[in-house]
Amino acid sequence: DVKVTQSSRYLVKRTGEKVFLECVQDMDHENMFWYRQDPGLGLRLIYFSYDVKMKEKGDIPEGYSVSREKKERFSLILESASTNQTSMYLCASSQPAGGTDTQYFGPGTRLTVL
Amino acid sequence: GQSLEQPSEVTAVEGAIVQINCTYQTSGFYGLSWYQQHDGGAPTFLSYNALDGLEETGRFSSFLSRSDSYGYLLLQELQMKDSASYFCAVNNAGNMLTFGGGTRLMVKP
């Protein structure tokens, strides 16, 4: 079974802090993704990566950056956390399969910024 | 731009059949996926339609009409454990998914 793990289930930070969210997958997948999930808005893509050291902006990259130094690990960084970044953050991975890529999600990190 | 529309909430009774509709507008389209998410859990893949027609997987079926930019998820013989949120998602080029806002299904006894 594919396993995607995230470093924390719950996180509380203060405005202005630098926040690191870590994601690790164990299936040697090429693609990794970071989403945020807010009620009524579904999952919105922040960044994704299709290879080590490669990254692409998603729909809402402002205020975030990412790092992929190893194939299995994809980090989301909030350079200076703000209250509007309070959300559920979900990491996912997939293996390219010509359009039928199934994404496997981690359990999520619920981040609260005070 | 890209957008997907699905109802925010649906309620049904145990044993019934429920259909969750999804309409989409997208600049790139490879297919339509459906994901299930229980409260507090991770989204999990249910089905994928690349071509028009019906795909059946046990109690769940998914339908796609590319000409109408429309699809639905059909859940039969509803069980209490089917209470969850269901998301449609368009597979775009580059292995990306664009998700709808989700439909919260409540199954009542």
Tens place of pLDDT per residue across chain B (109 aa): 678 999 999 999 999 999 999 999 988 888 999 999 999 899 999 999 999 999 998 999 999 999 999 999 999 999 999 999 999 999 877 678 899 999 999 999 9
What pLDDT sits at residue A98? 65
Q: State residue B94 phi and psi, 5-degree precision.
A: 80, 25
Task: Give me the pLDDT at residue A100, please.
Answer: 67
Give strand ranges (E) for A1-114: 4-6, 10-13, 19-25, 31-38, 42-49, 56-57, 64-70, 73-78, 87-94, 104-105, 109-113
**B98 with B26: CB under 8 angstroms?**
yes
Q: Please state the φ and ψ torsions of residue B80, each to the nearest 5 degrees.
A: -55, -35
Tell me the pLDDT band of A84, cut-offs 50, 70 and 90. very high
Could you tell me the CA-to-CA distances from B49 to A18, A62, A64, A112, B39 in Å, in that order? 41, 32, 32, 36, 25
Q: How far is A106 from chain B (nearest CA, A)?
A: 6
> What is the per-residue pLDDT for B94?
61
Give the distance from residue B37's alpha carbon to the nearest chain A alpha carbon, in angstroms.
10
Q: Does B28 touch chain A (CB under 8 A)?
A: no
Mutate to test the interface with A, among B95, B98, B104 (most CBs of A within 10 A): B95
What would the mean pLDDT of A83-87 be, rounded to a whole number?
97
The reported pLDDT for the residue numbered B54 is 96
Calpha distance A41→A91 (Å, rounded): 17
Q: Determine the residue type at A76.
A: L
Q: What's the pLDDT tens digit per position in A25-64?
A: 999 999 999 999 998 888 999 999 999 999 999 999 999 9
Q: Inter-chain contact A42–B96, Cβ cutoff 8 Å?
A: no
Chain B contact set for A108 (CB, 8 A): 42
Cβ within 8 Å, pair B45-A103: yes
